[in-house]
């Protein structure tokens, strides 16, 4: 069947919620994907910060194949080995004590919203249900997550939203204080805003937020759905900042392409959930957890974190050099392999041209082009991407 036919079938049968590029990806290997016409693209999107190990990783395939042969799914009425092993690995390599597994970033945020409120009500008082999030943030598309998302454009046509969510300005401690009250139970923020335009908060800001949360018995939650799982060159973004949260949300890169999300929490907060308070049929699915274990094995034992940091620095350097040549580039931001360039024209036009020239990129807001390649990307592949971008600009 021709590429055009696939596009027509997609339009006919799939609900119209995405503005998609007119290509159908059929296969992939390493950091390259191939469409149904046989055209190859260098992938600096990686499923939007999902395909941590790139494509067709031999160990990933072999571990998942083994797991399929043993057990794909069993209800959470029973234990399964990969779930326990993945929870153990996440706890032993973090500051957290307990893990709740779900299937996506939005679900992890939903769970955190509930956890903050349970904590507030149990340990501070019945009216303690207010949660503060940050403007320009993105936390997902379910009702709670979209309410937590500090961008009107995602909330259009969905009013009334979840009550009790307030928004503070990005990286602005006075604005945060102005939104606080005796009824604040939680603060949720992205250490590096992703969809909002690749904006890292400052370390000083995070230190202040931590202090405020300690003084007022407020749960501090980081949304590390996009910036966690090695993207900063550290396993978790809170390690890059060296400012500890009480809870984090993970998803995207955790499963390396298999759908999985997780909430990691310190014991004092995790105990706010009791049996019956929260659940998910697929959460902690044996196949998804064995994918998570494989990704963690690569990050922890196969030098990926070090190379993510090094290649991230190299990418940032190349982008800085490009900025000197191209006046349309206004700013370069990011950490590790989560970088963005702000340009003085619609990012979508440049991204479409890059696609035609064999490079996949993704926007982050209207004027920012985002670079979130697989963490196995090489310097040569960075050179190639920069050459295509330069030519296109």
Ligand X SMILES: Cc1ncc(COP(=O)(O)O)c(C=O)c1O
Interface positions with ligand X (CB under 6 A): 104-106, 109, 138-140, 190, 194-195, 223, 225-226, 251
Q: Of 109 and 286, which has the nearer Cβ to ligand X? A: 109
Q: Of 35 and 246, which has the nearer Cβ to ligand X? A: 246
Q: How far is the CB of 142 from ligand X (least distance, A)?
A: 7
Identify whether 160 is preceded by a cis peptide bond (ω within 30 of 0).
yes
Q: How far is the CB of 358 from ligand X (least distance, A)?
A: 25
Q: How far is the CB of 360 from ligand X (least distance, A)?
A: 16
Question: Other C-beta atoms within 10 Å of 387: how many?
Answer: 13
Q: How far is the CB of 194 from ligand X (least distance, A)?
A: 4
Q: Of 218 and 362, which has the nearer Cβ to ligand X? A: 362
Q: How far is the CB of 261 from ligand X (least distance, A)?
A: 6
344 Cβ contact partners less than 8 Å away, ≥ 6 residues apart: 327, 328, 330, 367
CA proximity to 199, closest of 370, 50, 322, 51: 370
- The H-assigned helical ranges of the chain are 3-13, 46-49, 58-70, 81-92, 105-123, 143-148, 152-155, 173-179, 203-216, 237-241, 267-270, 286-301, 304-325, 347-356, 379-392
For 41, counting Cβ atoms within 10 Å of its Cβ (0-12 exposed, 13-18 middle, 19+ buried), the class is buried
217 Cβ contact partners less than 8 Å away, ≥ 6 residues apart: 123, 124
CB 26 within 8 A of CB 36: yes
Distance between CA atoms of 149 and 103, rounded to whole angstroms? Answer: 19
Q: Of 128 and 255, which has the nearer Cβ to ligand X? A: 255
Q: Of 130 and 223, which has the nearer Cβ to ligand X? A: 223
287 Cβ contact partners less than 8 Å away, ≥ 6 residues apart: 64, 67, 68, 72, 73, 82, 258
Q: Of 155 and 356, which has the nearer Cβ to ligand X? A: 155
Q: How far is the CB of 27 from ligand X (least distance, A)?
A: 23
Residue whose Cβ sits closest to ligand X: 105
Report phi then psi at 308, rounded to 5: -60, -45
Q: Of 198 and 319, which has the nearer Cβ to ligand X? A: 198
What pairs with residue 100 in β-bridges? 263
Q: How far is the CB of 97 from ligand X (least distance, A)?
A: 23
Distance between CA atoms of 239 and 267, rounded to whole angstroms? Answer: 19
Q: How far is the CB of 295 from ligand X (least distance, A)?
A: 15
Q: How far is the CB of 125 from ligand X (least distance, A)?
A: 29
Q: Of 213 and 262, which has the nearer Cβ to ligand X? A: 262
Pairing of strands 199-200, 192-193: antiparallel
Pairing of strands 165-168, 130-134: parallel
Q: Of 251 and 291, which has the nearer Cβ to ligand X? A: 251
């Amino acid at each position: 069947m021709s590429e055009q036919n696939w596009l027509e079938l997609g339009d006919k049968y799939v609900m119209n919620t995405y503005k998609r590029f007119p290509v159908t990806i059929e296969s992939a290997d390493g950091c390259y994907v191939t469409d149904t016409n046989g055209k190859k693209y260098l992938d600096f999107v990686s499923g939007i910060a999902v395909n941590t190990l790139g494509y067709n990783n031999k160990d990933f395939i072999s571990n998942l194949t083994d797991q399929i042969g043993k057990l794909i799914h069993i209800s959470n009425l029973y234990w399964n080995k990969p779930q326990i092993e993945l929870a153990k690995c996440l706890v032993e390599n973090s500051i957290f004590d307990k893990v709740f597994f779900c299937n996506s970033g939005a679900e992890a945020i939903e769970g955190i919203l509930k956890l903050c409120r349970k904590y507030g009500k149990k340990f501070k008082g019945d009216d303690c249900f207010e949660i503060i999030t940050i403007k320009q943030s993105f936390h997902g598309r379910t009702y709670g997550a979209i309410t937590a998302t500090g961008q009107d454009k995602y909330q259009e046509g969905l009013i009334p939203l979840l009550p009790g969510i307030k928004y503070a300005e990005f990286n602005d401690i006075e604005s945060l204080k102005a939104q606080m009250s005796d009824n604040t139970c939680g603060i949720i923020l992205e250490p590096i805003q992703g969809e909002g335009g690749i904006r890292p908060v400052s370390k000083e800001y995070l230190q202040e937020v931590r202090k405020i949360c300690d003084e007022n018995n407020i749960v501090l939650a980081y949304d590390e759905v996009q910036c966690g799982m090695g993207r900063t060159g550290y396993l978790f973004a809170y390690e890059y900042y060296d400012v500890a949260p009480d809870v984090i949300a993970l998803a995207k890169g955790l499963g390396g392409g298999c759908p999985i999300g997780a909430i990691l929490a310190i014991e004092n907060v995790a105990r706010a959930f009791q049996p019956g308070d929260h659940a998910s049929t697929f959460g902690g699915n044996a196949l998804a957890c064995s994918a998570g274990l494989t990704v963690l094995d690569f990050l922890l034992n196969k030098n990926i974190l070090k190379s993510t940091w090094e290649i991230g620095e190299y990418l940032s350097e190349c982008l800085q050099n490009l900025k000197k040549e191209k006046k349309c580039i206004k700013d370069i931001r990011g950490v590790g392999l989560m970088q963005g360039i702000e340009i003085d024209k619609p990012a979508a036009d440049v991204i479409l041209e890059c696609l035609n020239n064999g490079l996949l990129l993704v926007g982050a807001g209207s004027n920012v082009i985002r670079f979130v390649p697989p963490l196995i990307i090489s310097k040569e592949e960075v050179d190639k991407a920069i050459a295509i971008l330069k030519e296109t600009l």
